[in-house]
Structure 1
Amino acid sequence: MLFQTFAFKNGQTAKNRFFKSAMEEQLAKHNRPTEQLVRLYDTWAKGGAGVLVTGNVMVADNGKGSINDVVLTDDRSMDTLKAWAKAGRQNDTLLIMQINHAGKQSPKVLSPTPVAPSAVALQGMDGFINPPRELAAGEIEELVGRFIETARLAEQAGFSGVQIHGAHGYLISQFLSPHHNRRNDKWGGSLENRMRFLVEIYQGIRAAVGSEFLVGLKLNSADFQKGGFDENDSIRVVQKMSELGIDFIEISGGNYESPEMLTAKESTKKTGSLFLGLCGKSACRQPSAADYYGRFPF
């Protein structure tokens, strides 16, 4: 089974079922890609995985989660991006760029006043992350455009697709959570409104790139905190994104306040798969739902 090919609905085919999920490389220099990233993905592509997903590539300067994140907002680093894509796609490998904005999960050394859907401070982060300010409606629209532009640049560079990071308490995850998103405009309140930011990002990317370019999502199964994004919310988001035609969904969970993505329970130790049980309960069992990869937490 692991060595069988996997056909995505847009026609792209992974040569096997080995899927390297995102890991934070921290190899950028001045937030631009480097030769070190090229060499790393050259090594990984030669390792034989069918799909490689990069670590965070941030869509805006104010969205960094770590000091050495790649930030991709223009084509100044296109030559290095192309070399990165070429290295990661050798050996018939699909290379997916994970695109993200940290929102309020941005350390104070990077963001003195981070941004978020609502001005709700993270608990237990005093001294590391400052309280956020609420995004204006116009800023939200601008950030939608930032995600779209980063995806367009990834396609131009030769990547196989992008993965929208909607998990782990970053900005999209914050919009999805009723605890972190307390807005009373079209971006908050009902789940339909809370997922609007994600939906508009996805639809904008899909309209801006070619049909063979993969567009996927990393999504929390739950935030694992009182009043947050829960399993029922997650299933409804999966159903919506599947209806819209998303190519794949990777399931994870937790955030900085409740880091379940780093917790290995007894069931995980037995299966080697974080959140696999939650995936089994969800819409991934329905024929219309997107395909899941649930094995990797980062």
Structure 2
Amino acid sequence: MGVLFPHLFSPLQIGRVTVRNRILSSGHDTVLVRDGSVTEDLVAYHEARAAGGTGLIVLQVSGVHESARYTTHVLMATDDDCVPAYARLARAVHRHGAKVFGQLFHPGREILESRDGSAPVAWAPSATPNERFHVMPRAMTDAEIHEVLDGYGQAARRLHEAGLDGAEVVASHGYLPAQFLNPKVNVRTDGWGGDGQGRLRFLREALRSVRRQAGPDFVVGLRISGDEFSHDGLHTGLVLETVAELDAEGLLDYVSVCAGSSASLSGAEHIAPPMFRPAGYTAPLAAQVRAVVGVPVMVAGRINQPQEAEQIIAGGQADACAMTRALICDPELPVKAEQDRTEEIRACIGCNQACIGHFQQGHPISCIQHPETGRERRFGTLPPLTRRKKVLVVGGGPAGLKAAAVAAARGHEVELHEADRRVGGQVLLAQLLPGRAEFGGAITNLEGEARRAGVRVVVGSRVDAQTVTAAAPDAVILATGARPRRPELELMDDPVVLDAWAVIRGSEVPRGRIVVADWRGDWIGLGVALHLAARGRKVTLCVTGFAAGEHLQQYVRAAMLAQAARARIDIVPNARIHGADSDTVYLQHTLTEEPVLVDGVAAVVLAQGHEPVVDLEPVATGLPADRVFAVGDCVSPRTVEEAVLEGLTVAAEL
């Protein structure tokens, strides 16, 4: 077992704790917290990953002081009443052989929201503003600094009493300890600033407080960005000096290395790097840290496959790998890899939509490919069959594939028909856009699950009434998807008007300026604009919203907008398309209704959303209502996330 990945599945000693393998789930917010406390949903979420073979689970941040409430759903460890709930979580993880650490946290100026809508007072070393959230903090007094430092130790003591194996002080991503370290943020002239030793003092004292109050058996680590990749962030040289000095003082049992900063848009992208970043790109940062410390080093940053983690560890760049989003996507990744069942692993595609994207919208964590994530108590164990049914699934996009896979896994006889030569639906288009090839992995994974579950997949088969009659199914699941929507436009002099799907598929596009008219503000309009720019066209992207990519997860949006800026794509906000002639596109400003004209245009590309394909509804109405189900875009055009979730929900109830 594990012969493919001998380094990944060797034990690791961290302080006085032995971890069974080198795979860890690093700290990440789940929005499965209520009133600052551990919930049964959070316990079930982490227990699923422990049961799947993860060696170490690091919980999301635990606030060490009341001023650390950076969201309304942050875990808090500021009162002894928190201990029993943490203990339930620790027991759940331990009974599957995994270890569990906490995170000790204060955001400083990185405040995202408040409890009642009024802006809280943010604490920081100095009154240096945050660029991303536009927070102006207040410089902490000496008494407040000591109060927070004691909070680190008190929180660690509570986690130890609850049975956790260790905790890490979070100095990553520009949070409070990093703010004290940073000479561009910490401009104090007292004993907490002034020079390198003064700026290091807060982090040093936080670690000492933890060690003093938690005791010698408790593992104490440090999470830090190897580089904050921000105009005013910590650079690698200062980080290396910091970790080397703290390790030499015996304050660290391990270092967990990541990248980026919450304080700027460019730095924040690295918190959960989208698919535009290469796999394991942060490993060189971890290697530099590992060269200056004598304790184990962990690394996080787009490590989605066991072979990537094995290579990093075997190459000496790190001692363990955080595969957090990979475990969100497939909680059983470790056991599958250890049993050499790599073809069954559901690989994360770095879309960020339902993991970090949900967090930033205040919704519980999930995954567009695996909506069971975050819903373990509802879908973790599906109900047994009372009667085996014959199920006909019409449409092989994400919704149809998920419905078929789940229904077959439960024991139903399932046949799926897809009109095109390949299953996949719109995902086959999405993967053709610049930097989005990995998105196609969603269909590779879903199709694999369906076929392994025993689904009979028939491609090139357009279902009609005769097909349904011949199949004589007990249940029909309609997953017929959507088609491009073309609104009524005033067209004169025969302008060239194409839809986005045609352009992605390779239709000829004239030379010259191309206007992309984007109604939705998602990956299609911005992606097609980048696609056309890469083909040498001058592009103007006109969007109905305030900004391009408005409905994309913010790190994905930031990466794509950076590419658009480099490609010199012109973006016109608040503009709806009205019409076109041979060389001019006519738009209306969405706020003033005044005309907006773009001249010298060779073609218009429409990204105007979709309309549901309901061609089979007349067929379906001939069957009893309790035997026909519709899922995905044929119900209402949305995203892969809703399609897969609906496929799961319907199939779980058959």
Fold similarity call, TM over 0.5 = yes
Find the counterpart in structure 2 of residue 90 from structure 1.
95
Match of 1:201 among 206, 223, 230: 206
Match of 2:123 among 115, 129, 152: 115
Letter matched to residue 278 of structure 1 = L
Letter matched to residue 253 of structure 1 = A
Find the counterpart in structure 2 of residue 159 from structure 1.
164
Contact 1:27 1:69 in 2 (8 A): no
Match of 2:175 among 152, 164, 170: 170
Find the counterpart in structure 1 of residue 291 from structure 2.
285
Q: Which has the larger radius of gyration?
A: 2
Q: Which moved more, 1:132-141 or 1:100-109?
A: 100-109
Following superposition, the deviation at residue 227 of structure 1 comes to 4.5
Higher strand share: 2
State the distance in 1 between where 2:228 and 2:235 align. Answer: 6
State the distance in 1 between where 2:37 and 2:16 align. Answer: 31
SS in 2 for 1:92: coil
Change (3 A) 1:13 1:124: closer
User: Bigger relative contact order, structure 1 or 2, given CA contacts below 8 A and separation 6+?
Assistant: 1
Contact 2:226 2:289 in 1 (8 A): no
Find the counterpart in structure 2 of residue 190 from structure 1.
195
Q: Deviations over 1:120-140 (max 9, x none)?
A: 1112424xxx31111001100
Q: Deviations over 1:133-186 (max 9, x none)?
A: 110011001100001000000000000000110011111111111111111111
SS in 1 for 2:271: helix
Following superposition, the deviation at residue 265 of structure 1 comes to 8.0
State the distance in 2 between where 1:101 and 1:63 align. Answer: 5
Find the counterpart in structure 1 of residue 362 from structure 2.
none
Letter matched to residue 129 of structure 2 = A
Letter matched to residue 250 of structure 1 = S
Letter matched to residue 114 of structure 1 = A
Find the counterpart in structure 1 of residue 254 from structure 2.
248
Contact 1:89 1:159 in 2 (8 A): no
Find the counterpart in structure 2 of residue 2 from structure 1.
8
Following superposition, the deviation at residue 196 of structure 1 comes to 0.8
Letter matched to residue 21 of structure 2 = N
TM-score, length basis structure 2: 0.43
SS in 1 for 2:102: strand
State the distance in 1 between where 2:17 and 2:120 align. Answer: 42
Query: Which blocks of at least 5 consecutive residues in structure 1 are unaligned?
Result: none
SS in 2 for 1:120: coil
Q: Deviations over 1:47-88 (max 9, x none)?
A: 111111011111122112221111111111322121011112
Following superposition, the deviation at residue 117 of structure 1 comes to 0.5
Letter matched to residue 248 of structure 1 = Y
Following superposition, the deviation at residue 290 of structure 1 comes to 2.6
Find the counterpart in structure 1 of residue 18 from structure 2.
13
> In the alignment, does 2:33 pair up with 1:28?
yes
Change (3 A) 1:23 1:205: same
Over the residues paired in the alignment, what is the CA RMSD in angstroms? 1.8
State the distance in 2 between where 1:178 and 1:251 align. Answer: 21
Find the counterpart in structure 2 of residue 136 from structure 1.
141
Match of 2:227 among 222, 237, 244: 222
Match of 1:261 among 267, 271, 277: 271
Find the counterpart in structure 2 of residue 80 from structure 1.
85
Change (3 A) 1:265 1:27: closer
Letter matched to residue 254 of structure 1 = G
State the distance in 2 between where 1:49 and 1:117 align. Answer: 37
Change (3 A) 1:222 1:190: farther
Letter matched to residue 59 of structure 2 = T
Match of 1:60 among 59, 65, 74: 65
SS in 2 for 1:232: helix
Following superposition, the deviation at residue 27 of structure 1 comes to 1.5
Query: Which blocks of at least 5 consecutive residues in structure 2 are unaligned?
Result: 1-6, 303-323, 325-654
Contact 2:70 2:113 in 1 (8 A): no
Following superposition, the deviation at residue 273 of structure 1 comes to 1.6
Contact 1:191 1:233 in 2 (8 A): no
Following superposition, the deviation at residue 296 of structure 1 comes to 4.1
SS in 2 for 1:53: strand
Matched length: 289
State the distance in 2 between where 1:108 and 1:66 align. Answer: 5
Q: Which moved more, 1:138-147 or 1:106-115?
A: 106-115
Question: Identity percentage over the alignment?
Answer: 25
SS in 2 for 1:76: helix
State the distance in 2 between where 1:12 and 1:31 align. Answer: 28
State the distance in 2 between where 1:242 and 1:81 align. Answer: 29
SS in 2 for 1:96: strand
Contact 1:264 1:274 in 2 (8 A): no
Following superposition, the deviation at residue 261 of structure 1 comes to 2.9
Q: Deviations over 1:80-125 (max 9, x none)?
A: 1210111122222110001101111113524522111000111242
Q: Deviations over 1:237-293 (max 9, x none)?
A: 110121122111011122121213334587x52xx224211222x24124x533211
SS in 1 for 2:60: coil
Deviant stretches of 4+, over 6 Å: none
SS in 1 for 2:152: helix
Match of 2:75 among 70, 73, 84: 70
> In the alignment, does 2:110 pair up with 1:105?
yes
Q: Deviations over 1:202-248 (max 9, x none)?
A: 11211222322111110111222334321111001110121122111
State the distance in 1 between where 2:172 and 2:180 align. Answer: 10
State the distance in 1 between where 2:40 and 2:188 align. Answer: 42
State the distance in 2 between where 1:113 and 1:11 align. Answer: 39
